[in-house]
């Protein structure tokens, strides 16, 4: 084996230094938020609270913000939307990756075109459709508008194309039909892409404020982000209490990402191999 030369070592150290600096810039605000949440009421944000660290802010934020109901609603909506997107993306992605039919490329272009259309531009027609279906102020208004996503379809289509066709041919020889091949062969092999889609969708729905704000007015349908926005309006001058509420809303998705980060990175790295 050839030893790395001095220039290569310098480049590695420089890359490491840039990455550490970037990580520090990104994590420092989160670090300040987390530590400020332990400061006594009325304190101003600072990197290290000087004294009187307390957990009372978390108890007060949880009770005053009524986060129990908000957590339940956000979890229900995020899981439902994620399940719908995985099902629709798997079916559509497999069809675009393996089936040959007229207009396939045009359909793929349409799917990709949806990625550049902001959701805010569609809010009026979506609102009219939901009102026509009597879905305003229901869970359907929070779930159905994002039940299908072009990113998920493209992601799984790309990953399916990295799987050898010979595996499907062997399953077909054994008597499996298309759906059986998708369920028993393709989806188990596409686990990194499925985890990636799960994380993207779940975190996106958890952090979504737009749909609850526009399509619902009932207090019992409040999600975490809507509860957090209302909480911040009420306690603008109480920084430790606000930081505790922000931490409560952020920790679940951070833990979820840390659990699935390896599969997430693998899924992102392998979905662009084939065109």
Supply the CATH number for residue 101's domain.
1.10.3720.10
128 domain-assigned: yes
75 domain-assigned: yes
DSSP code string of 15-30? HHHHHHHHHHHHHHHH
Contact 33, 241 (CB under 8 A): no
CA 60 – CA 48 distance, rounded (Å)? 21
What's the whole-model pTM score? Answer: 0.85
What digits encode the pLDDT tens for the residues 4-13? 566 777 887 8
Contact 9, 15 (CB under 8 A): no
Query: What is the extent of the structural domain holding 192?
Result: 57-270
pLDDT of residue 186: 93
6 domain-assigned: no
pLDDT of residue 50: 61
40 domain-assigned: no
243 domain-assigned: yes
Contact 224, 249 (CB under 8 A): yes
The number of distinct structural domains making up the chain is 1
41 domain-assigned: no
Q: Which of 128, 186, 197, 143 is nearest to 161 (CA)?
A: 186
Which residues, at least 6 apart from 162, have a Cβ–Cβ distance to it below 8 Å?
A: 270, 271, 273, 274
- How far separated are the first and last CA of the chain, in Å rounded? 35
Computed over every residue of the chain, the mean pLDDT equals 86
What digits encode the pLDDT tens for the residues 166-207? 999 898 988 889 999 999 999 999 988 899 899 999 999 999
44 domain-assigned: no
177 domain-assigned: yes
User: Is residue 107 very low, low, confident or very high in pLDDT (cuts 50, 70, 90)?
Assistant: very high
Q: Which of 93, 76, 57 is nearest to 248 (CA)?
A: 57
3-state helix, strand, coil in the chain (%, to 5): 75, 0, 25
């Amino acid at each position: 084996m050839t030893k790395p030369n001095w220039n290569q070592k310098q480049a590695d150290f420089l890359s490491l230094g840039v990455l550490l600096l970037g990580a520090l810039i990104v994590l420092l605000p989160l670090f300040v938020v987390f530590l400020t949440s332990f400061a006594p009421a009325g304190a101003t944000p600072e990197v290290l609270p000087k004294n009187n660290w307390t957990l009372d802010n978390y108890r007060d934020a949880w009770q005053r913000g009524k986060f129990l109901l908000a957590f339940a609603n956000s979890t229900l909506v995020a899981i439902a939307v994620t399940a719908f997107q995985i099902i629709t993306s798997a079916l559509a992605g497999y069809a675009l990756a393996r089936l040959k039919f007229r207009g396939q490329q045009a359909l793929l272009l349409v799917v990709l075109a949806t990625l550049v259309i902001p959701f805010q531009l569609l809010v009026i027609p979506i609102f009219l459709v939901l009102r026509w279906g009597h879905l305003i102020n229901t869970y359907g208004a929070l779930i159905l508008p994002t039940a299908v996503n072009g990113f998920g379809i493209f992601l799984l289509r790309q990953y399916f194309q990295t799987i050898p066709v010979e595996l499907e041919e062997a399953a077909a020889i054994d008597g499996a039909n298309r759906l059986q091949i998708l369920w028993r062969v393709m989806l188990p092999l596409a686990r990194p892409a499925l985890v990636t889609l799960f994380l993207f969708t779940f975190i996106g729905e958890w952090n979504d404020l737009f749909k609850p704000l526009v399509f619902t007015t009932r207090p019992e349908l409040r999600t975490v982000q809507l509860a957090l926005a209302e909480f911040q309006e009420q306690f603008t001058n109480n920084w430790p209490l606000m930081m505790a509420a922000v931490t409560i809303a952020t920790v679940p998705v951070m833990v979820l990402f840390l659990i699935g980060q390896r599969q997430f990175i693998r899924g992102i790295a392998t979905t662009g191999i084939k065109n």
